């Protein structure tokens, strides 16, 4: 079976990606630092070809421990060596780090560690396994890698770093491994949170209508693009990033 590792897989977009890949018949391993969400997802997919592990992807020793557990699990389920896909999605989803004059080094590092260092640590550990099956990496970046609101420096820098990491890795790891990124726009994740934090918010017409496609995005929108980038149909695509944003980054905005 095809095997995917999805970071930040227990809630939000990552949970949507896990669900989509399981529906497509993949064997899926979700890593997430939220213990409650991990337990909930594991219980939900108890009968599926699924493993959920509590892991902080910005922590080198935690990532190493997760890969030891993954190796053991693959043996337990009689899987041949290797993985087919790494989806590096985990990270602090809040883009606002506050005014740059007041941004502490500790907070700056929290954003870089979860998104960028996490992406690096996961990639470093996954590459030997991906090489075996000639797999793919997909980073979940953001349209905020290429455009900004005020006070989002730590997030924007981390996401911009992921786009640079994408093209750098595509050149280093080809032809064995393809590497691409998805840049989500506004994705509503409230219905995809763990039970204790789940909600189903409505959206104002003005919020929907500002999107050229007339709606706000869903985790399924991102999952479908990730699955495409992992598929043989995307075999000639590497080093790219694709915006999945309902057209927002293509919209010209003038005041008044």
Which residues contact ligand NAI by CB under 6 A?
7-8, 10-14, 31-34, 37, 55-58, 89-93, 114-115, 118, 140, 142, 184, 186-187, 189
Q: Which is nearer to ligand NAI, 92 or 138 (CB)?
A: 92
Active site residue 254: no
Q: Which is nearer to ligand NAI, 135 or 246 (CB)?
A: 246
Sheet containing 178-184: give its strands across: 50-54, 27-32, 3-7, 85-88, 136-140, 178-184, 241-244
- Contact status, residue 122 vs residue 57, Cβ threshold 8 Å: yes
**Shortest Å distance, C-beta 236 to ligand NAI:** 26
Q: Which is nearer to ligand NAI, 135 or 185 (CB)?
A: 185
Residue nearest to ligand NAI (CB): 12
**Shortest Å distance, C-beta 8 to ligand NAI:** 3
Q: Which of 136, 155, 219, 230 is catalytic?
A: 155
Rounded Cα distance between 71 and 96, Å, is 37
**Shortest Å distance, C-beta 94 to ligand NAI:** 8
CA atoms within 13 A on the CB side of 253: 10
Local structure of residue 238 (DSSP, 8 states): -
Q: Is the peptide bond before 175 cis (omega within 30 degrees of 0)?
A: yes
Instruction: State how far the alpha carbon of 101 is from the alpha carbons of 32, 105, 199, in Å.
Output: 31, 11, 34
- Contact status, residue 5 vs residue 70, Cβ threshold 8 Å: yes
Q: Which is nearer to ligand NAI, 14 or 161 (CB)?
A: 14
CA atoms within 13 A on the CB side of 195: 8
Q: Which is nearer to ligand NAI, 232 or 244 (CB)?
A: 244
CA torsion 12-14-17-23 (nearest 10°) is -80
- Closest of 15, 133, 47 to residue 7, by C-alpha: 15
**Shortest Å distance, C-beta 247 to ligand NAI:** 15
- Closest of 111, 114, 79, 115 to residue 4, by C-alpha: 79
What are the residue numbers of the active site?
A: 155
């Amino acid at each position: 079976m095809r095997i995917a590792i999805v970071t930040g897989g227990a809630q939000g977009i990552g949970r949507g990606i896990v669900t989509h890949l399981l529906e497509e018949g993949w064997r899926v391993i979700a890593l997430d630092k939220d213990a409650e969400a991990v337990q909930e997802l594991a219980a939900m997919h108890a009968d599926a070809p699924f493993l959920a592990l509590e892991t902080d992807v910005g922590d080198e020793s935690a990532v190493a421990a997760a890969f030891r557990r993954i190796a053991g699990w693959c043996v337990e389920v009689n899987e041949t060596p290797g993985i087919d896909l790494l989806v590096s999605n985990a990270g602090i989803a809040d883009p606002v780090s506050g005014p740059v004059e007041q941004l502490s080094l500790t907070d700056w590092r929290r954003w870089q560690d979860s998104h960028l260092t996490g992406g690096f640590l996961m990639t470093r550990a996954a590459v030997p396994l991906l090489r075996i099956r000639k797999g793919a990496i997909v980073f979940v970046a953001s349209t905020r890698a290429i455009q900004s609101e005020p006070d989002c420096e730590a997030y924007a820098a981390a996401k911009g770093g992921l786009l640079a990491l994408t093209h750098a890795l595509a050149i280093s790891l080809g032809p064995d491994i393809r590497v691409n990124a998805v840049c989500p726009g506004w994705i509503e994740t409230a219905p995809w949170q763990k039970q204790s934090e789940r909600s189903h918010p409505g959206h104002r017409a003005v919020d929907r209508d500002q999107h050229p496609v007339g709606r706000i995005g869903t985790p399924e929108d991102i999952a479908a693009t990730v699955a495409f980038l992992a598929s043989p149909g995307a075999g000639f695509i590497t080093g790219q990033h694709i915006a999945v944003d309902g057209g927002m980054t293509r919209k010209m905005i003038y005041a008044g």
